[in-house]
Structure 1
Amino acid sequence: MDAVRTLLETQPLLTLFVTVALGYVVGEMSIKGVSLGSGAVLFVGLAIGGFAPKSAPPALLGTLGLLLFLYNIGIQYGDQFFKGLTSANGLKANIAAAFGVIVAGFVSVALVPLFGVKLDESLGMFAGSGTSTASLQAAMAAMKGDGATVGYSVAYPFGVAGPILFLYVLSVVLKPHIERPPPKLIETAEIALRNPAFIGARFSDLVARMPAGLAIAAVRREHHNRTLTDDLILQADDVLLATATDPAVLREATSLFGELQPGRITSHREDLDYARVFASSRLVVGHMLRDIRFPEGVACTIAHVRRGDADLMPKQDLILEFGDRVGLLANRANMKSLRALFGDSIKGTAELSFISIGVGAALGLLAGAVPLPIPGVGKLTLGLAALLLVALVLGRVRRVGPFAWTMPLTANLVLRNFGLTIFLAQVGIASGPKFFATIGVAGVSFLVYGVAIALALLLVTTILCLWVFRLPFDMTVGVISGATGNPAILAFANRVAPTDLPDLGYAMIFPSMTVVKILFVQIAAVLASG
């Protein structure tokens, strides 16, 4: 064993990746549907750190990992976050979650005078109960010690399993009736124009009056398919190729415009053919559909955009991202030039601009270094919380001049999960010795304290969401998931409420609650030291 210990202590990078590998093996183990996921990396790191006390990699490596995690969270959820802030339900959800987080924070701080817990350990339990690695880092930086990691590691298991059990009990008690929505896939209908109200009108007039969620991709007239322009004068018996993700919208359009004429357009491809291309060129990525300029003399219609596993309607303000699969209607002779315009490279699913990442992260770090005066507290720097805020803004803006801030979902997930894993591994290894020195003395009591902090967060958030603000149950479970933070909780929430609202609630809440948790930890640390 001494030889193994010596090897680990002399090869910190080897130790780091052994920790990552073993952590994910443990994290995939499931007990009654509950698993720790990436959080298990922390516990494996603690074990290895306790076994080989001098094996910890440099702390800067862990900070870099957390930076990647927070930056990519902000880039992905920026748009949903700001939309949530401007909606009635989004404001209610953020208020409910903020109250829950703050009450949980006060419970953690109250442990100091009531039970003699050290402040860094109580703030670590606060971070662990909310599964917030970002607030753990803030506690470590503010308190200049590793007591926060001990509290975090003890409270973390219930921080993951507790909310899952809570959501299960909540669904059993309330028995909400939630129907699983059908998948959002593009469906088509070929409709012969028979309504006199539209015959002789411009196509733009028809667009202004057609049902929401509908798009017209092409028209067939006099045995020829053609793309549409706003000034096209509609004629009787024109066949319109209508698309929508909701079959009810297509039925409404059919009754409004005329009658179905299936096969009239799709069975004839001599004028217009269909092709699906990858968006991988900077000529289109980061641009709205309305701003894309097709080659001279090329008539083309964007029929739909597929991003990840979802079909998106081709709205004019939709911004293309790397890796989007774009459905085109155009003449076969023009397909080569269109493929060149869009790039059409599968590498686009992993394409990202390291220049944009460098500039964006640098802006966030600069913002985090600026001291902000807070009345009653003094000057406070936001640190990595500012990085998250900057990333949220960039994720909302998406593009500034030559900088495309967004990246494909696949690349985003890889970078942020890798960053989180590196952070947990480094922190766990570094804190292992202190953890085992403390856990034997205060382990059971710390677990009870962690349960109390987590329950305060869960109960306050749930009561405000369901009975004060009367948010839908499926949105509420998403808000609870975002307030507690761990993606495993969101995955369970999607099983409890199989709609889009849990994901929406999570996206609106997770970034802002991460900032709230970090600020609470920093303010508590400053007030305590003052």
Structure 2
Amino acid sequence: MDALRILLETQPLLTLFVTVALGYAVGEIGIKGVALGSGAVLFVGLAIGGWAPRSAPPPLLGTLGLLLFLYGIGIQYGEQFFKGLTSAEGLKANAAAALGVIVSGFVAVALVPLFGVGLDQALGMFAGSGTSTASLQAAMSSMKGDGATVGYSVSYPFGVAGPILFLYALGTLLKPKIERPPPRMIEAAEIALTNPALVGLTLAELAARLPPGVVIAAVRRAHHNQQARTNLVLQSDDVLLATATSPALLVETTALCGELQPGRMTNHREDLDYMRVFASSRLVVGRALRDLRFPEGVVCSIAHVRRGDIDMMPGQELILEFGDRVGLLVNHAHLKTMRAFFGDSIKGTAELRFISIGVGAALGLIAGVIPVPIPGVGRLTLGLAALLLVALCLGRARRFGPFVWTMPLTANLVLRNFGLTIFLAQVGLASGPKFFATVGVTGASFLLYGVVIVLALLCVTAACCLWVFRLPYDMAVGVISGATGNPAILAFANRVAPTDAPDVGYAMIFPSMTIVKILFVQVAAVLIGS
């Protein structure tokens, strides 16, 4: 065993990846649906670090991992975050979560005078209860000690398991009726125009009479399919290719326009053919559909866009992202040209633009060292919180000139999860000795403190969401997940409320609550620590 300990202490990179592998193996162990996930890496790191005290890699490696995690979060959720700051529902969600976070922070700080807990340990428990690694980094930087990591590691399990058990109990108590929505897919119908009241209208005039969400993608006239031009004057027996995300809308459209005649258009592709391409070219990614300029001589229309598992109607404001699958109606002779225009490379959808990442991260780090005056507190540097803010702005902008800030979703997930894993492993290894020395004396009381902090966060957030702001239940569980932060909690919320609302609620408030937690830690360290 001594030989193994010496090996781990002389090979820190080997120790780091052993910690990652063992941590994920432990994290996959679930007890009644509750698992620690990537958080188990921290506990394995603490165990190895306590046994082999000199095995930790340099702290800069952990900071780099956290940078990658925060940058990926900001890039992915930038648009949803700013929508949350402007919509009435988003403002309510942010207010409810912020109140819960601040109350739990005051509960943590109150432990200092009431029970003699160190401020660094109390702030660490606050960070662990909210499963916020960024807050842990802020506490470590502000307090210059290992106490924050000890508090974090003790309260972290309750930060993961507590909200899951809370949501289970809340659903059992309230018994909300939530129906799983059908898969959102584009449906199409070929409708012969037999309603004389519509003959002579232009397509633009017809569109104003159709149910919202229905689009005429193409028209067949005189045995030829053609693009749906807004100024096209409709004639009797024209065949309309109508698309919508709901079959009920197509039934309503058919009743308005005429009768179904399937096969009239799709069996004849001499003039217009259908193709699906991947959006992977920088000519199209990050641009709204209204800004796309097709190659000269090519007449093409976009029938739909599929992102992930969701079909979206091709509105003019829709901005393409890496990996979007775009359905096109175009002449067969131009298929190759349009493939080249969109890129159509599945490999390209997984590639990262490292120039954009380098520039974006550098801008965030520069912003993080600029002192910001806060009344009554003094001048603070935001550190990695500023990087998150910059990444959110870049994620909303999507692109600027040659810089495409967005990343393919798969690449984003890999980048930020890898960064989070490296951070947790490095912090665990570095803090192992101090953790076991402290928990051996105060472990039982620290566990109880962690439970109280988590309950304060959950109860206040849930009460504000459900009874003060009266948000829908499925939105409320997403907000609770975002306030606590861990993706495992969101995954459970999606099981108890199988709609899109939990994801929307989580995305609207998770970045802002990360910033609130970081700022609370920094302000508390200045006001109380001094």
TM-score, structure 2 length as denominator? 0.98
**Contact 2:191–2:242 under 8 Å retained in 1:** yes
1:418-437 pair list within 5 angstroms: 418-437=418-437
**Contact 2:119–2:529 under 8 Å retained in 1:** no
| Equivalent position of 1:102 in the other structure | 102
1:371-404 deviations in whole A, cap 9, x for unaligned? 1111110001111111111111111111111111
**Contact 1:280–1:351 under 8 Å retained in 2:** no
| Equivalent position of 2:219 in the other structure | 219
1:265-304 pair list within 5 angstroms: 265-304=265-304
| Equivalent position of 1:68 in the other structure | 68
| Equivalent position of 1:447 in the other structure | 447
| Equivalent position of 1:395 in the other structure | 395
Shift of 1:285: 1.2
**Contact 2:214–2:244 under 8 Å retained in 1:** yes
Percent identity over the alignment is 80
| Equivalent position of 1:519 in the other structure | 519
1:306-317 pair list within 5 angstroms: 306-317=306-317
| Equivalent position of 1:493 in the other structure | 493
> 1:196 and 1:131 mapped to 2: Cα distance?
63
Structure 1's consecutive aligned runs of 4 or more residues displaced over 4 angstroms after TM superposition are: none
| One-letter code aligned to 1:444 | A
| Equivalent position of 2:77 in the other structure | 77
**Higher mean displacement: 103-112 or 299-308:** 299-308
| Equivalent position of 2:246 in the other structure | 246
| One-letter code aligned to 1:152 | Y
1:181-229 deviations in whole A, cap 9, x for unaligned? 0011111111222334432222222233332222221111111111122
**Contact 1:490–1:502 under 8 Å retained in 2:** yes
> 2:242 and 2:364 mapped to 1: Cα distance?
44
> 1:197 and 1:59 mapped to 2: Cα distance?
74
| One-letter code aligned to 2:143 | M
1:18-54 deviations in whole A, cap 9, x for unaligned? 1000000000001111000000000000011011101
| Equivalent position of 2:343 in the other structure | 343
1:130-179 deviations in whole A, cap 9, x for unaligned? 00000000000000011100000000001000000000000000000000
| Equivalent position of 2:191 in the other structure | 191
| One-letter code aligned to 2:496 | V
> 1:267 and 1:61 mapped to 2: Cα distance?
59
> 2:520 and 2:62 mapped to 1: Cα distance?
22
Matched, 1:385 2:385: yes
Shift of 1:255: 2.3
Shift of 1:320: 1.0
| Equivalent position of 2:28 in the other structure | 28
| One-letter code aligned to 1:295 | P
Specify the SS of the correspondent of 1:184: coil
> 2:197 and 2:159 mapped to 1: Cα distance?
60
1:220-235 pair list within 5 angstroms: 220-235=220-235
> 2:140 and 2:335 mapped to 1: Cα distance?
56
> 2:397 and 2:10 mapped to 1: Cα distance?
46
**Contact 1:139–1:148 under 8 Å retained in 2:** yes
| One-letter code aligned to 1:72 | G
Specify the SS of the correspondent of 1:389: helix
> 1:489 and 1:105 mapped to 2: Cα distance?
20
| Equivalent position of 1:203 in the other structure | 203
**Contact 1:191–1:259 under 8 Å retained in 2:** yes
> 1:482 and 1:303 mapped to 2: Cα distance?
34
> 2:523 and 2:342 mapped to 1: Cα distance?
49
> 2:448 and 2:506 mapped to 1: Cα distance?
27
| One-letter code aligned to 1:226 | Q
Cα 1:354–1:197 change in 2 (3 A) is farther
**Contact 2:112–2:122 under 8 Å retained in 1:** yes
| Equivalent position of 1:19 in the other structure | 19
| Equivalent position of 1:236 in the other structure | 236
CA RMSD after TM alignment:
1.0
Specify the SS of the correspondent of 2:45: helix
| One-letter code aligned to 2:11 | Q
> 2:395 and 2:248 mapped to 1: Cα distance?
33
> 1:31 and 1:84 mapped to 2: Cα distance?
34
Shift of 1:424: 0.4
| Equivalent position of 2:256 in the other structure | 256
| Equivalent position of 1:416 in the other structure | 416
1:313-349 deviations in whole A, cap 9, x for unaligned? 1111111111111111111111011111111111122
Specify the SS of the correspondent of 2:335: helix
> 1:401 and 1:195 mapped to 2: Cα distance?
49
**Higher mean displacement: 253-262 or 331-340:** 253-262
Q: Which runs of 5+ in 1 are unaligned?
A: none
Specify the SS of the correspondent of 2:207: helix
**Contact 2:287–2:319 under 8 Å retained in 1:** yes
**Higher mean displacement: 315-324 or 447-456:** 315-324
| Equivalent position of 1:49 in the other structure | 49
1:81-230 pair list within 5 angstroms: 81-230=81-230
Shift of 1:277: 0.9
Q: Which runs of 5+ in 2 are unaligned?
A: none
> 1:289 and 1:256 mapped to 2: Cα distance?
29
> 1:177 and 1:300 mapped to 2: Cα distance?
44
**Contact 2:20–2:425 under 8 Å retained in 1:** yes
| Equivalent position of 1:353 in the other structure | 353
TM-score, structure 1 length as denominator? 0.98
> 1:197 and 1:515 mapped to 2: Cα distance?
57
Shift of 1:351: 2.0
Shift of 1:242: 1.2
Aligned residue pair count = 530
> 1:421 and 1:255 mapped to 2: Cα distance?
56
> 1:454 and 1:403 mapped to 2: Cα distance?
41
| One-letter code aligned to 2:504 | L
> 1:291 and 1:459 mapped to 2: Cα distance?
46
> 1:188 and 1:92 mapped to 2: Cα distance?
38
Specify the SS of the correspondent of 1:529: coil
**Higher mean displacement: 181-190 or 203-212:** 203-212
> 1:399 and 1:91 mapped to 2: Cα distance?
26
> 2:64 and 2:317 mapped to 1: Cα distance?
35
Shift of 1:303: 1.0
**Contact 1:322–1:351 under 8 Å retained in 2:** no
